Structure 1
Amino acid sequence: MKAVQVTGYGEKLSMVEVPAPEVTGPHDVIVRIGGAGVCRTDIHILEGQWAQKSGVTLPYTIGHENAGWVHAAGSAVTNVAEGDKVIVHPLITCGLCPACRAGDDVHCGQSLFPGIDTAGGYAEYLKTSARSVVRIDDSLEPSDVAALADAGLTAYHAAAKAARTLRPGHRCVVIGAGGLGHIGIQVLKAITAAELVVVDRNPDAVKLAMDIGADHGIIAEGGQVEEVLELTGGHGAEAVIDFVGEGGATADGTAMLRRAGDYHVVGYGENIDVPTIDVISAEINFIGNLVGSYTDLCELMTLAAQGLVRLHTTKFPLADFQDALDDLEAGRIRGRAILTP
């Protein structure tokens, strides 16, 4: 089969011919890929940022946002059948450790992460497990929802955490309305009554945010903190969800937060520099967010089937993987880029 692989850090990806994966265990599921999301993490992988953490042996197939059709399944698989449309949770988990048994499978101690530390979905077929596949509604197409497997799941996880404490009349600031942020905005609109304030440097991203449900859009041109404070009567927002995490976003985000507010970190790239006296005197909370659980993905697929969450995508044939990466890195992608084998 055709697959796009990392052959060296600091080098471009290569398309190669590799053997197609086969069922070798009773819980294995082989997915014929219908769409693979192109994520900024893929660029970070090529830069070598994940080399030490993942410990993966090169070459290997990249791609961790995947959806498609069940091609084959092991003898013990009962939740899906050949031909079913599925989206693939980004982790392969054990189901037996304390985290898995608590439904917190994203912290499984034995997990594998296709596209990060084992073969991923920039290919025609992907090997995963029964615990990782979620059937999707017949109204949905794999290439339309593939990036919900990670970008959407991460955004949902953060938005759902914030929603636990957001009440009618509260304000939530969303920093960044790009690939993750535009999903998070829709999730928040679907599951909370909070007033949504979106901040982004890109006017087109702010316009998109307003089109999909944001109550206020602010273009980050230097006065964004003051604008948020003015909107909130000088108090700040009850919650800030930062999908950027670099370029000064963390300083802005903490300054936009009210006393006892929650700052949800999703994007990464810089340090949070806050005097500890400010943390305790205002009782503000810093909350990390990784990818969501299998249950989170099921809930997100329900919202997608109801038409409450839609991905804005640009699709590329698998052979045009380099164009997709170049467009993402240059900021030419609104929403998510999807490779379609």
Structure 2
Amino acid sequence: MKAAVLHTFDESLTSDEFVRYENVPDPKISRPTDVIVRIGGAGVCRTDLHIVEGIWRSKVDVKLPYIMGHENAGWIEAVGPAVEGFRVGEPVICHPLVTSGHCLACRRGDDMHATDSSFPGINANGGYAEYLLTGTRALIKLPKTLAPKDVAPYTDAGLTAYRAAKKASRHLLPGQFAVVLGAGGLGHIGIQVLAALCAAEIIVVDRSEQSLELAKTCGAHHLVKADGHEVEAVLAKTNGRGAEAVIDFVGEGDAVARGLAMTGNGGFYYVVGYGGKIDIPTIDMITTEKTIVGNLVGTYAELVELMALADRGLVNLHTREYSLRDANDALHDLHAGRIHGRAVLIP
């Protein structure tokens, strides 16, 4: 099969070629619960750029060359002998983690903390290819309203944004405020989820006018340009008290300090983006009673919930399509900030 393969790390992200489009062996079924999916769309994520940089080397044991791509959807191509309930040719979306279902975390539905798992595109070959090896527990059938190429980024970008926004929505009331930092690939989904799940007013902060315009179409009530005065602007819109929830999809540079400054007393700061550091005096944590919440990608059940919202048209992805052979163009455009929404590779 054809695949876009990572052969070397590039810490500076200056190479013209991050991945190489080439022939590789087809994946094979080796376990009874294995499933091979013919890829209809593979999302391009900023995590993929971090993988190219080598940031994930300290977190996972990856041996190059290997295939990135952890946001995948397509059609069932082949199934192992123990697979039930799925037929060849059915359209599916893949939860990013392949778990055995045997450990306690699996049985609790806490997929991301499973002790027996693989993560295609992170620590195993992923979906920057014509075919993907996954497992039956990762599959969700797609309704007729949703095509694989249009929903693939939901499996990480959408699911991560959904998890954070769902947590926030549980305590947000009418008359309160939620701030979304970053209206890009994850942020524009998080805005829609907040609008679907709660009645709080949504304030979106971003440096890009184009991203702010996208945020407006996604349900944002207030738009704030990140120009160095965004904290003051948010405080003005919240009558000086700050927001009850801040969801930080940036997580690096000065976004962390500014996000915490926008969070009101007793409020919640949800960390989604990464790369920066949280530095706050303990006395400030005590006197303000702020809560800092980390967020991984969501669970299988939460992906089912997100597909229900998408099926009803309450959440829509803004995507830009690339051919699989043009994976380097997609990665470079993402790195340069030329993608507003999500990029999707199509074999």
TM-score (norm 2): 0.97
Rounded to whole Å, the distance in 2 between the matches of 1:118 and 1:308 is: 33
State the match for 1:302 in structure 2: 308
Please tell me whether residue 177 in structure 1 is matched to residue 183 in structure 2: yes
* 97-106 or 4-13, which deviates more: 4-13
Kindly state the Cα deviation for residue 8 of structure 1 after the two structures are TM-superposed.
Answer: 1.2
Residue 109 of structure 1 is aligned with which of 87, 111, 115? 115
* CA-to-aligned-CA distance 1:192-243 (integer Å, 9 cap, x gap): 1111000001111111101111010111111111111111111111000000
Residue 196 of structure 2 is aligned with which of 172, 187, 190? 190
Please tell me whether residue 75 in structure 1 is matched to residue 81 in structure 2: yes
Rounded to whole Å, the distance in 2 between the matches of 1:94 and 1:25 is: 11
Please tell me whether residue 249 in structure 1 is matched to residue 232 in structure 2: no
Please tell me whether residue 151 in structure 1 is matched to residue 157 in structure 2: yes
Kindly state the Cα deviation for residue 51 of structure 1 after the two structures are TM-superposed.
Answer: 1.6
Kindly state the Cα deviation for residue 20 of structure 1 after the two structures are TM-superposed.
Answer: 0.9
Which residues of 2 match residues 118-133 of structure 1 at below 5 A?
Answer: 118-133=124-139
Kindly state the Cα deviation for residue 166 of structure 1 after the two structures are TM-superposed.
Answer: 1.1
Q: State the secondary structure of the residue aligned to 2:154.
A: helix
Which residues of 2 match residues 309-324 of structure 1 at below 5 A?
Answer: 309-324=315-330
Q: State the secondary structure of the residue aligned to 2:267.
A: strand
Residue 298 of structure 2 is aligned with which of 286, 292, 303? 292
State the match for 1:278 in structure 2: 284
* CA-to-aligned-CA distance 1:253-308 (integer Å, 9 cap, x gap): 11111111000000011111111100011110000001000001000011111111
State the match for 1:31 in structure 2: 37
State the match for 1:239 in structure 2: 245
Q: Is the CA contact 1:79–1:130 (under 8 Å) kept in the aligned structure 2?
A: no
Q: Is the CA contact 1:62–1:120 (under 8 Å) kept in the aligned structure 2?
A: yes
* 18-27 or 194-203, which deviates more: 18-27
Q: State the secondary structure of the residue aligned to 2:88.
A: coil
State the match for 1:6 in structure 2: 6
Rounded to whole Å, the distance in 1 between the matches of 2:192 and 2:86 is: 28
Kindly state the Cα deviation for residue 79 of structure 1 after the two structures are TM-superposed.
Answer: 3.0
* CA-to-aligned-CA distance 1:36-71 (integer Å, 9 cap, x gap): 001111111111111231111111111111000011
Rounded to whole Å, the distance in 1 between the matches of 2:85 and 2:66 is: 29
Kindly state the Cα deviation for residue 9 of structure 1 after the two structures are TM-superposed.
Answer: 1.0
State the match for 1:85 in structure 2: 91
Identical-pair percentage: 57
* 71-80 or 269-278, which deviates more: 71-80
Q: State the secondary structure of the residue aligned to 1:295.
A: helix
Q: Which amino acid aligns with 2:158?
A: G
Q: Which amino acid aligns with 2:3?
A: A
Give the paired residue count: 341
Rounded to whole Å, the distance in 2 between the matches of 1:25 and 1:93 is: 13
* 91-100 or 283-292, which deviates more: 91-100
Please tell me whether residue 266 in structure 1 is matched to residue 286 in structure 2: no
* CA-to-aligned-CA distance 1:60-88 (integer Å, 9 cap, x gap): 11111100001111122123211111111
Rounded to whole Å, the distance in 2 between the matches of 1:242 and 1:52 is: 24
Rounded to whole Å, the distance in 2 between the matches of 1:108 and 1:323 is: 34
* 291-300 or 71-80, which deviates more: 71-80
Cα-Cα RMSD: 0.9
Rounded to whole Å, the distance in 2 between the matches of 1:196 and 1:100 is: 34
Q: State the secondary structure of the residue aligned to 1:287.
A: strand
Stretches of 4+ aligned residues off by more than 2 angstroms: none
Q: State the secondary structure of the residue aligned to 1:209.
A: helix
TM-score (norm 1): 0.98
Kindly state the Cα deviation for residue 22 of structure 1 after the two structures are TM-superposed.
Answer: 2.0
Rounded to whole Å, the distance in 2 between the matches of 1:79 and 1:27 is: 12
Kindly state the Cα deviation for residue 7 of structure 1 after the two structures are TM-superposed.
Answer: 0.8
Q: Is the CA contact 1:241–1:266 (under 8 Å) kept in the aligned structure 2?
A: yes
State the match for 1:229 in structure 2: 235
Q: Which amino acid aligns with 2:164?
A: A
